[in-house]
Structure formats: C-alpha cells, structure tokens
C-alpha cells in the first residue's frame, strides 16, 4: 500500500478514500492533487541546487495543497550569539562545559549549566565529551520579539568498524608524513 | 560589516540525486534519533507521497524532497549546524543513495535602511546612467553573477541579488543568495555527499559572508 498523507485541513477526506475511493469526486480530487504536485516538483527541479524560496506563504497556485500558515508567518532568529560546547563534568543537577564561540574561536570559556536547561529528549545525549550547541539571542515569532537561550545536543551517527579503521589509517599516514626538525 | 544591515540569514542544503520521498517522514527521522521525538510528534506535515514529501520540524527545519531533489532549510542561525548534522546523518544512513550534486546555499536578507541607500546599491551594481536617456526612472530589479572558472574544489558560485520578499518585511530589503554548487564525480553516493557537506559547510558560510561584506564595503565604505 502506497503511503499517502495529506494535510487533513486542506482536503477533507481521509487517506483511504483519497487513494481507493472510486467516486467521480474522489478521482477529481486525486487528479487535482497530482496536478499540484507536478507543478511543485517541476518548479523544484528547475532550481537545481539553488535555494527554493520559502513557500510557507508563497506559491499561490499551490495553496490548496499545503497547510495555510498564519498570515504573519514569519518565524526566524534575527540576532544570536552561538557557542559549541563540550561537556567536561556532569553532576546531579548541573554540568560543566568548555565553550567555543562560533564567531570568535580564539579563546575558550568554561560555563556551568543546569540540567533543566536540557530538553527531555536530549538528556540521553548528555555524556562526558558530548557536543552541544548553545545559543543566546533574539527570535522573531509571528510578530513578537522574544529573548531566548537554548541548548541542543549534537546527534551523530556511530562510526562503523570499517569507517573507524579508515580514519585511523588516515591519521597514521598524516602522522608518518610529518617532518620533525 | 554586514552585521549592521543583516536582518535574516537563511541556510539551505540541496542534494540532487535519486530519492524516495515517501521515506522522508518526521517519524523516520526520530526513529533514527536524528531529531527529538517531540519534534516528530509535533511536525507540520504538508504532504508525504511517493513523488513529494514536505514538512516542517520543530519550527526550525523545513524539508522538501522530490524524486530528484532533497532540500533542508532553516531561517534560524543557531540551527545551521544541527541542520548540517542532520543532513549529513541522513545521507550516512542512506549511504548508497545516488547523488550527483550538492548545493550549499547562504541567503542574506539585508535592510538598506532608506531609499537613498537602496538606490545607491542598485546603481553601484548596474550603473543606471546607462539607461537614463532611454528609460524613465530605471531601477535594478535583479541580477545574477556566476563564477565562470572556479579554483580547485571550492565549487561554482552563483550569486543572485534581488529585492527581499515583501512578506519578510525587511525595510528597503535586499536578498543576496549565494549558491555554492558542487558537482560530484559519477557514481557518487550519499556517503560522499555527506562527507563533502562536512568538509565544505563552514568554509562556504565564511566565504559567502565575506563575499557579501566585500560588496557592501565597496558600495557603502
């Protein structure tokens, strides 16, 4: 069975009917959806690797297909200071990290954070040596300026044994090529 | 230099290749621990079908995938690195996906603050005196500069300059869109694309910002 999920607010029928309904109305809606998808896919393909303009509030032709965002749908961060943190110590209610300013990496800083600053879903990523991103700044959300600070832990894929061996081989080669005076 | 003018910075990562859009679903990303469970639960899904998949995760990430193109984008600078991590992780998992090209896009919406600066900017890029005798009140609307002979592995750059979209509400806004395009060798796959993004992401960002700063310095001093 092919996956089909379409925003329920836009088309008021469920996915079973959408794909398997045989009424003339169902067929017409399927054709309508397909035509809109084709327009969108063609427009994306023409962009190649260039950025496809934000379409939350553009693409009037595609309005029926996509969820309608709030009229003032702007949600962006306008000014922020960002650090990359490396966890150096973990305590019962807090942890310490070494921070590198992403805009000025000349000097590292040390800071303590409360565990309550960490999202529930990120707590499992809090281990010694873990990397996180800390941001302090101003966000613009639907017309409201908000001062905010948040932490997000880096999610990495585990290396396979083969990848690890390849990296270690490359490191060894680099090390062997160093000419010491 | 551009910090005085910069209002919104957007970043996009685009992969061209052979994709199955139906795989790209918030719950798939969460199952691979690439995003938080809560983000997957609260994702705003526009569509997930075999031809097109499009959704927003956690109010910070937009993903849109067709059969030949996969794009990640965010307008929130603290999430530039998490987005890079996520895109790279996706293609490490889908390592055998055929990928032919990668685009690292740095987009700047800058406010020129007043009409005088706005006119000055367009006039500096394309001297309007060349048109004054034949057109009434000419103005520059948009232009594209392409790097014809890129050096080494820096990728080909394509810079689009146009007015900021009115919906963004940037006062006397100019949009400068720097596309860093990388063609991959034949038979390249997701793993190679992920590696390229890891290697080039930060340098592209630095270079793109420098490029825009350079133009602004030349025009506004």
CA distance A128 to A126: 7
Pick the CATH number of A75-153 from 3.10.110, 2.60.40, 2.40.50, 3.40.140: 2.40.50
When scoring B33, B46, B53 by the number of chain A Cβ atoms within 10 A, the one with the most, hence best to mutate, is: B46
- Would an 8 Å CB–CB cutoff place B85 in contact with chain A? yes
User: In this predicted complex, what is the ipTM?
Assistant: 0.88
The shortest CB-CB distance from B48 to any of A3, A58, A121 is to A3
A29 pLDDT higher than 80: no
Q: pLDDT per residue over A99-128, tens digit each?
A: 999 988 788 999 999 999 999 999 999 999
Burial level of A17, CB count in 10 A (0-12/13-18/19+)? middle
Chain A residues with CB inside 8 Å of B25's CB? 3, 5
Percent of chain A residues past pLDDT 70, beyond the cut: 76
Q: Are residues A67 and B92, on separate chains, in Cβ contact within 8 Å? A: no
The minimum CA-CA distance between B82 and chain A, rounded to whole Å, is 7
The minimum CA-CA distance between B126 and chain A, rounded to whole Å, is 23
The shortest CB-CB distance from B168 to any of A41, A50, A74 is to A74
Q: Are residues A41 and B51, on separate chains, in Cβ contact within 8 Å? A: yes
Q: pLDDT per residue over A48-93, tens digit each?
A: 888 876 544 345 555 555 555 555 556 788 788 999 999 999 999 9
Q: Tally the C-alpha atoms within 13 A of residue A39's C-alpha that lie toward its C-beta.
A: 14
The shortest CB-CB distance from A76 to any of B8, B67, B102 is to B8
Q: Are residues A52 and B12, on separate chains, in Cβ contact within 8 Å? A: yes
| Mean pLDDT score, A155-175 | 84
Residue B182: strand pairing partners: B102
Q: Where are the domains of chain A?
A: 1-69, 75-153
CA distance A65 to A136: 36
Q: What is this structure's pTM?
A: 0.86
Residues 6+ apart with CB under 8 A from A125: A132, A153, A154, A155
| Mean pLDDT score, A159-170 | 81
């Amino acid at each position: 069975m092919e996956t089909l999920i379409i925003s329920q607010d836009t088309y008021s029928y469920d996915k079973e009917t959408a794909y398997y309904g045989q009424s003339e109305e169902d067929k017409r809606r399927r054709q309508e959806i397909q035509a809109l998808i084709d327009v969108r896919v063609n427009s994306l393909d023409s962009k190649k690797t260039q950025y496809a303009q934000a379409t939350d509030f553009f693409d009037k032709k595609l309005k029926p297909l996509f969820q309608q965002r709030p009229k003032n749908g702007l949600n962006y961060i306008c000014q922020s200071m960002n650090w990359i943190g490396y966890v150096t110590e973990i305590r019962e209610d807090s942890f310490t990290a070494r921070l590198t300013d992403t805009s000025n990496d000349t000097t590292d800083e040390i800071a303590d954070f409360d565990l309550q600053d960490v999202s529930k879903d990120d707590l499992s990523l809090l281990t010694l040596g873990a990397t996180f991103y800390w941001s302090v700044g101003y966000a613009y959300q639907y017309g409201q300026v908000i001062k905010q600070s948040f932490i997000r832990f880096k999610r990495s894929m585990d290396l396979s044994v083969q990848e690890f061996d390849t990296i270690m081989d490359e490191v060894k080669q680099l090390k062997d090529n160093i000419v010491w005076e | 230099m551009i910090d005085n003018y910069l209002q919104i910075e957007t970043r996009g990562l685009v992969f061209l290749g052979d994709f199955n859009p139906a795989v790209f679903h918030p719950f798939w990303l969460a199952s691979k621990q690439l995003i938080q469970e809560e983000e997957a639960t609260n994702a705003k899904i526009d569509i997930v079908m075999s031809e097109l998949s499009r959704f927003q995760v956690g109010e910070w990430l937009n993903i849109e995938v067709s059969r030949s193109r996969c794009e990640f984008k965010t307008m929130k600078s603290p999430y530039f690195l998490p987005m890079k991590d996520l895109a790279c992780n996706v293609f490490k998992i889908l390592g055998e996906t055929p990928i032919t090209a990668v685009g690292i896009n740095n987009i700047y919406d800058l406010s020129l603050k007043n009409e005088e600066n706005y006119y000055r900017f367009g006039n500096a890029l394309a001297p309007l005196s060349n048109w004054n005798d034949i057109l009434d009140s000419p103005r520059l609307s948009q232009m594209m500069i392409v790097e014809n002979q890129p050096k080494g592995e820096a990728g080909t750059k394509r810079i689009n300059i146009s007015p900021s979209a009115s919906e963004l509400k940037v006062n006397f806004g100019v949009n400068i869109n720097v596309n860093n395009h990388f063609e991959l060798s034949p038979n390249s796959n997701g793993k190679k694309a992920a590696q390229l993004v890891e290697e080039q992401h930060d340098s592209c960002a630095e270079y793109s910002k420098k490029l825009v700063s350079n133009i602004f310095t030349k025009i506004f001093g």
